[in-house]
Amino acid sequence: MIRRQVLMMGAAMAAGGGTARPRPIVIAHRGASGERPEHTLAAYRLAIAQGADFIEPDLVATRDGVLVARHENEISQTTDVADHAEFAGRRTEKTIDGQTVSGWFTEDFTLAELKRLRARERLPQLRPGNVRYDGRESIPTFQEVIDLARREGAQRGRAVGLYPELKHPAHFRSRDLALEPRLLEALARNRLDRREASVFVQCFEVAPLQALREQTPVRLVQLIAADQGPADRPQARPAQMTSPEGLAAIAGYADGIGVEKALLASGRLVADAHRAGLVVHAWTYRAENAFLPPALRRGEAAGDHGDLAAELRAAFALGLDGVFSDFPGAAVAARDGAG
């Protein structure tokens, strides 16, 4: 336990500038996705300019085994695939983590084919301003995201961390497109397979993290939703996973937890996790009324912006080690006392 706490403190100090009291990190959730279409290089670039410590690429695989950044392997909501007549026959129905999903899936396209598509705003009703960026960007590969982080970080004289999420790893493994070895190869190729690298790897499933713990020293984060257990451990309820006993079990293979913000309501989770030697990163902080508690909403429309700064300040006051936000600039300002 002492070794884990020392490593945790060292990692947090590195992310927070080496202060005696670790500064919480700001993770750009899918980039600055409140201001640009998510998982585009433009969204990541803006997030870095706004001061995000980490950018978050969700990873799925193409038919030819390349890791690309999409929140889901079904891409009809985030690309113009439906407008491509040549791909009409690729529309299909699949079962993903027990759910029936219809649409177009990355694993049915080669990278070259995916690069013919253009990114679109996923929430146009809530984020109409982002629609003007539709069609400007392609789907980036993980390598392109790594290259962007390094290039932008070098220009600013600071490290820009990577916080990749493995999406539906069991599904991709069943298609002979396992994400884990491809991630490990990418980290090794880019010399990011080190404990001190500015990398966290996250996943909702348990087994991939347990397997990765045996193969890599990089920091691992168990994601926990408020209303359901992991796809590969559906019997493990959130209340069990966030109990002192559940947190101790997670600490056996992970370095932190990434929790849905509703799980912070009890007020005990952060302290319990810290006692288990885990860092706590919470998700997702967004400005629109649709995502804010009633007391912090402003205006009448679901897409109007409410008092995100107040929600973020309250979150940081809980002692969190980091937050995921669609508006990383607002999160940086709230953390640093300007929001």
Contacts of 224 (CB under 8 A, 6+ apart): 204, 238, 241, 242, 257, 258, 259, 260, 263
Q: Does a structural domain hold residue 34?
A: yes
Indicate the pTM of the whole model: 0.93
What is the model's pLDDT at position 339?
A: 64
Instruction: Give, as one character, the DSSP assignment of residue 139.
Output: P
What pLDDT, in 10s, does the model give residues 276-304? 999 999 999 999 999 999 999 999 999 99
Q: What is the CA radius of gyration of the chain?
A: 19
pLDDT at 10: 41
- What's the whole-number mean pLDDT along residues 147-157? 98
Q: Which residues span the domain enclosing 187?
A: 2-71+138-335
Q: How many domains are contained in the chain? A: 1
Q: How far is CA 231 from CA 95, 201, 205, 243, 278, in A?
A: 12, 17, 6, 19, 22
Whether 96 maps to a domain, the answer reads no
Do the beta carbons of residue 228 and residue 238 sit within 8 Å? yes
Kindly report, residue by residue over 301-327, the tens digit of the pLDDT.
Answer: 999 999 999 999 999 999 999 999 999
Does residue 190 sit within a domain?
Answer: yes
**pLDDT tens profile 72-120:** 999 999 999 999 999 999 999 999 999 999 999 999 999 999 999 999 9
Instruction: Give me the pLDDT at residue 19, please.
Output: 37
Residue 170 lies in a domain: yes
H-type alpha helices, 16-129: 41-49, 111-114
Domain annotation covers residue 118: no
**pLDDT tens digits for 168-193?**
999 999 999 999 999 999 999 999 99
Residue 177 covered by a domain? yes
Q: What is the 3-state secondary structure (H, E, C) of 196-257?
A: CCCEEEEECCCHHHHHHHCCCCCEEEEEECCCCCCCCCCCCCHHHHCCHHHHHHHCCCCCEE
In a domain, 85, yes or no: no
How many residues comprise the chain? 339
* Least-confidence region, from 192-201, 218-227, 320-329, 330-339: 330-339
Report pLDDT for 284.
Answer: 98
pLDDT per residue as tens digits for the range 205-216: 999 999 999 999
Q: Which residues pair with 141 in a beta bridge?
A: 68
274 exposure class (CB count in 10 Å sphere: 0-12, 13-18, 19+)? middle
Q: Does 149 fall in a domain?
A: yes
Integer angstrom CA distances of residue 197 from 7, 61, 146, 159, 283: 12, 24, 12, 9, 22
Q: Which of 147, 103, 124, 280 is nearest to 202 (CA)?
A: 280
Max Cα distance, the chain (Å):
59
**Which CATH number goes with the domain that contains 292?**
3.20.20.190
Q: Count Cβ atoms below 10 Å from residue 85 Cβ, excluding itself.
A: 7
d(CA 118, CA 135): 5
Residue 17 has pLDDT above 90, yes or no: no
